[in-house]
Amino acid sequence: MLVVTRIDRLARSIGDLQDIVRAVKARGASLKATEQPIATSTAAGKCFLDMLGVFAEFETNLRRERQLEGIAKAKAEGKYKGRPPSIDAAKVRAMKAEGQGASEIAKALKIGRASVYRLMVEQPRHIGRHDSRKAAGAVGSG
């Protein structure tokens, strides 16, 4: 038997929850929540489990929507600028221009070698954290 305190702590979507329940059942076990009247060994328990799973996913989606709305509002007001860069890209490029290799630069600046390579292929402009992943992926995929 798999025992959890609450169903919403086990899975974030109804699909994930159903996958977990199927995996537990396939091993000959059942699921029980200590703070909720759920046990997958009964038909009523399975029904209640699915209903709680739907509501948990709905709540997660609402929370995500509110968060995105708040971020959009903060960006519009100029309050949300993201995390400042932690690595001086100009210094990495300058060291590369002086002929230093990626490992040498990484060691000198106490950063990862992958960060050095990423900065070498990115255009010298300020890009946000999420944009840098896209830029690095776009450069490496073509």
Q: Compute the distance between CA of residue 53 and CA of residue 27 in angstroms, rounded to an integer.
A: 21
pLDDT at 140: 43
**59 in any annotated domain:** yes
Which CATH number do you get for residue 60? 3.40.50.1390
**116 in any annotated domain:** yes
pLDDT at 30: 83
**109 in any annotated domain:** yes
Q: Which domain holds residue 122?
A: 89-141
Edge-to-edge strands, sheet with 2-4: 2-4, 31-33, 38-39
Which percentage of the chain shows pLDDT scores above 90?
Answer: 15
Spatial neighbors of 44 by CB under 8 A, at least 6 apart, are none
Query: What's the half-sphere exposure (Cβ side, CA atoms, 13 Å) at 104?
Result: 9
pLDDT at 62: 93
Does the pLDDT at position 124 exceed 60?
no
Q: Compute the distance between CA of residue 11 and CA of residue 19 in angstroms, rounded to an integer.
A: 10
**68 in any annotated domain:** yes
pLDDT at 35: 82
Domain count of the chain? 2
For the stretch 46-102, pLDDT in tens is 888 888 888 888 888 899 999 999 989 988 988 877 788 888 888 888 998 899 988
Same domain, 7 and 68: yes
Across residues 33-46, what is the average pLDDT? 79
**133 in any annotated domain:** yes
Spatial neighbors of 32 by CB under 8 A, at least 6 apart, are 1, 2, 3, 4, 38, 39, 40
pLDDT at 73: 92
**123 in any annotated domain:** yes
**84 in any annotated domain:** no
Report whether 74 contacts 82 (CB < 8 A): no
Task: Provide the whole-model pTM.
Answer: 0.47
Same domain, 8 and 52: yes
**Helix residue ranges per DSSP H, the chain:** 14-26, 43-76, 89-97, 102-109, 113-121, 129-141
Query: What's the half-sphere exposure (Cβ side, CA atoms, 13 Å) at 6?
Result: 6
Q: Which residue has the higher pLDDT, 142 or 40?
A: 40
**81 in any annotated domain:** no
Q: In this structure, what DSSP letter does residue 84 have?
A: P
